[in-house]
Amino acid sequence: MNRTNIVVNLNEPLVFEQSAPGKSAYSLPPLDVEEVALDQIVDPKLIRSDIPGFPEISEVELIRHYTRLSTWNYHVDLGLYPLGSCTMKYNPKLNERVARIPGLATVHPLLNAPLAQGNLKILYRLQELLKEITGMAGVTLQPAAGSQGELTGILMVRAYHAARNKPRKYVLIPDSAHGTNPASATISGYEVKAIPSDQTGQIDLTSLKEKMSDEVACLMLTNPNTLGIFESRIQEIGRIVHEAGALLYMDGANFNALLGQTRPGDMGIDVLHLNLHKTFSTPHGGGGPGSGPVACQESLIPFLPVPIVAKDGDKFRLDFDRPQTIGRLHAFFGNFGMMVRALAYILSCGGDGLKQISETAVLNANYIRKRLADHYDLPYDTPSLHEVVFSDKRQERQGVKTLDIAKRLIDLGFHPPTVYFPLIVHGALMIEPTESAGKGELDEFIEAMIQIHRETVEEPAKVTGAPTSAKVARLDETRAARTPVLRWKARGKDEEKDEG
Ligand SMILES: *Cc1c(COP(=O)(O)O)cnc(C)c1O
């Protein structure tokens, strides 16, 4: 099937350019009651007579304009979105239905606990299910993202050492870690020491032993790590860490690989975060709202953020009376709507369903790995779980780099995978199909990747010149991030000065 040209029209003018004086998006019959002038209700000083450049447009033009614009966006409802480490799985519509139930969607967060029992029960059930899924003793649902979960977890580690009057100085982090790990440790007041990976792609145990000391607060380990490789010596790692009096933090963003198979609590992990917007199918949105619950062992429970949802008999309440807490990380309870969706997901999958998710996610990634291994370089031959990382080593000889491959995929109708991460792989292409993709779609993606490899050899300009089907081809990504121009200004006297 040809998936190219999924975009309807790339030459959509701005809504301002479709404007013409006198067009209107509504028309009503003339008033048959007495008209009350606006300046009789509102202070005339506050009334604008004109909004410069305000577009005038008909309803049908307006609807078509935004509907066409929406087709420019690649999203999980459109096709495979194989961004490694991001777990861009399908967001079931059932979750959306549940989250829109009025008592859940419109309840005020300041409502007294006795009047919000159902809502608290939802939080409590999710809390308890996440304990069971992770094998941990305590959970907070408060953090709004994985990275905020890391911050929460490391602040708890800090409070744990402080409570023993043994504050420590360092956090050890493998060189394959997500950039948020060192950021969270640094914001928490620690110095970061990097641990290299060995030739199997796992953490180097010799280096870990060398760097471990009574000055180390914790090791932050991603498992499976960002190469998709399970740290199979996790118990030994736990021993090394605990013998030095340090704690073991697990970045659980890649939990989709482990769901229902094994539990961090059984591996000697002290504290971890999960991403509801990855493993538990809640939407990532345009940067949020996410949800990054933190689970911990008994020894860290006193330091969890407040409030915790507690249950007395059959009544639920918010427990603020926790003298050793690290405090609040988020207003109210965190992103409640995400928790509703995650609970709906867990309950609709059931225990066996959760297990099937990780099995299928791992199978899908390994299918891609196997079928692309003849065309793309695999920097590590250690078996991988839910994602596979290739390098651009073979294509680079023809002058084609990872970025070119990613851009060419756009022309072929797919969202590119994660690129240039993890940093330890030269020109990394990190592919995570998730369990949402069926075999047909995986095959189409694989064919597209093989086609790009073939083009690299036969007509590399096609790849290095990609994309040709997108509205914008190759952005200056640094400038786009650092000096974004997000405002459109009406053409007028400022025109010459305004780049936007
Ligand atoms: C996504 C991710 C994070 C950060 O999660 P956010 O919700 O984006 O803040 C941290 N670590 C790993 C390994 C991740 O994949």
The answer to whether residues 336 and 111 touch, using CB atoms and an 8 Å cutoff, is: no
The CATH code belonging to domain 360-482 is: 3.90.1150.10
Q: How far is the CA of 258 from the centre of ligand 1 (A)?
A: 16
Q: Report pLDDT digits (tens) over 75-90.
A: 899 899 999 999 999 9
Q: Is residue 375 over pLDDT 50?
A: yes
Q: Output the pLDDT for position 487.
A: 79
What local confidence, expressed as pLDDT, does residue 7 receive? 55
- Is the pLDDT reported for residue 260 higher than 90? yes
Distance 179 CA to ligand 1 centre (A): 9
- 291-327 pLDDT tens trace: 999 999 999 999 999 999 999 999 999 999 999 999 9
Residue 145 CB–ligand 1 contact under 6 Å: yes
Strand-pairing partners, residue 197, are: 203
8 A C-beta contact, residue 81 and residue 88 = yes
Q: What's the mean per-residue pLDDT of the chain?
A: 93
The closest residue, in CA terms, to atom 6 on ligand 1 is 146
Q: Is the CB of 85 under 6 A from ligand 1?
A: yes
Residue 289 banded pLDDT, cuts 50, 70, 90:
confident
pLDDT at 498 over 60: no
- Ranges for all domains in the chain classified under CATH 3.90.1150.10: 360-482
Tally the C-alpha atoms within 13 A of residue 354's C-alpha that lie toward its C-beta: 23
Amino acid (one-letter) located at 64: R
For 448, the enclosing helix (H) or strand (E) is helix 439-458
178 lines ligand 1 (CB under 6 A): yes
C-alpha 415/C-alpha 431 separation (Å) is: 11
Phi, psi of 342 (to 5 degrees): -65, -40
Q: Is the pLDDT of residue 497 over 70?
A: no
DSSP string, 142-199: --SSHHHHHHHHHHHHHHHHHHTT----EEEEETTS-THHHHHHHHTTPEEEEE-B-T
Question: pLDDT digit string (tens) for 379-419?
Answer: 999 999 999 999 999 999 999 999 999 999 999 999 999 99
- Distance between Cα 85 and ligand 1 center (Å): 7
Protein residue closest via CA to atom 3 of ligand 1: 146
* Contact in structure between 301 and 138 (CB atoms under 8 Å): yes
Indicate the pTM of the whole model: 0.91
| 473: pLDDT strictly greater than 90 | no
| Residue 117 burial (CB count, 10 A) | 14
Q: Give SS3 for 246.
A: coil
CA 379 to centroid of ligand 1, rounded, Å: 23
What is the pairing mode between strands 216-222 and 170-174?
parallel
pLDDT at 208 over 50: yes
Whether ligand 1 lies within 6 angstroms of the CB of 292 is answered as yes
Q: Identify the residue whose tokens are 């797919």.
A: 414
> What spacing in Å lies between the alpha carbon of 145 and ligand 1's midpoint?
8
- Does the CB atom of residue 147 touch ligand 1 within 6 A? yes
Among 147, 148, 335, which is best to mutate for testing ligand 1, by the most ligand atoms less than 8 A from CB? Answer: 147
- On the question of pLDDT at 70 being above 90, the answer is no
- Nearest atom of ligand 1 to the alpha carbon of 150: 10
Q: Which among 203, 230, 232 has a CA at the least distance from the CA of 219?
A: 203
Residues 6+ apart with CB under 8 A from 250: 220, 221, 222, 223, 264, 267, 269, 271, 272
Q: How far is CA 33 from the centre of its chain?
A: 53
Task: Give the number of the atom of ligand 1 that is nearest the alpha carbon of residue 290.
Answer: 7
pLDDT value of residue 3: 55
DSSP secondary structure code for residue 34 in this structure: P
Is 143's C-beta closer than 6 angstroms to any atom of ligand 1? no
Find out whether the beta carbon of 384 lies less than 6 Å from any atom of ligand 1: no
pLDDT at 492: 56
CB 341 within 8 A of CB 99: yes
- The verdict on the CB of residue 290 being under 6 Å from ligand 1 is yes
Please list the residue range(s) of the chain that carry CATH number 3.40.640.10.
94-348
User: Rounded CA gap, 116 and 336, in Å?
Assistant: 13
Query: Is any ligand 1 atom within 6 A of the Cβ of residue 146?
Result: yes
Q: Ligand 1: which of 178, 227, 254, 274 to mutate, most ligand atoms within 8 Å of CB? A: 178
User: What are the tokens at 224?
Assistant: 């499976």
Give residue 286 CA to ligand 1 midpoint distance, Å: 14
Q: Are 489 and 498 within 8 A, CB to CB?
A: yes
Q: What is the pLDDT of residue 10?
A: 77
Among the ranges given (102-111, 301-310, 347-356, 491-500), the one the predictor scored with the smallest mean pLDDT: 491-500
Identify the residue whose C-alpha is closest to ligand 1 atom 5. Answer: 146
386-395 residue pLDDT tens: 999 999 999 9
- 68-77, 271-280, 362-371, 462-471, range with the lowest pLDDT: 68-77
The single residue listed with the structure tokens 């020894």 is 299
3-class DSSP state of 371 = helix
Domain 94-348: assigned CATH number: 3.40.640.10
CB 252 within 8 A of CB 177: no
**For residue 135, how far is its CA from the centre of ligand 1 (angstroms)?**
21
How many angstroms is it from 398 CA to the middle of ligand 1?
34
Reported as a single tens digit per residue, the pLDDT across 154-203 is 999 999 999 999 999 999 999 999 999 999 999 999 999 999 999 999 99
pLDDT at 220: 98
Q: Is the CB of 226 under 6 A from ligand 1?
A: yes
How far does the centroid of ligand 1 lie from the alpha carbon of residue 274, in Å?
A: 9
Nearest to 304 by CA among 293, 312, 313: 293
Number of helices (H) and strands (E) in the chain: give both, helices first.
Answer: 15, 12
CA of 277 to the centre of ligand 1 (A): 10
Tokens of 161: 């050492």
Average pLDDT rounded to a whole number, residues 280-293: 85
Name the pairing type of β-strands 308-312 and 429-431: unpaired
Is the pLDDT at 489 greater than 80? The verdict is no
- For residue 69, the model assigns a pLDDT of 87
pLDDT tier for residue 119 given thresholds of 50, 70 and 90: very high
Question: Which residue type, as a one-letter code, is found at position 126?
Answer: L
Is the pLDDT assigned to residue 496 strictly greater than 80? no
Q: How far is the CA of 284 from the centre of ligand 1 (A)?
A: 11
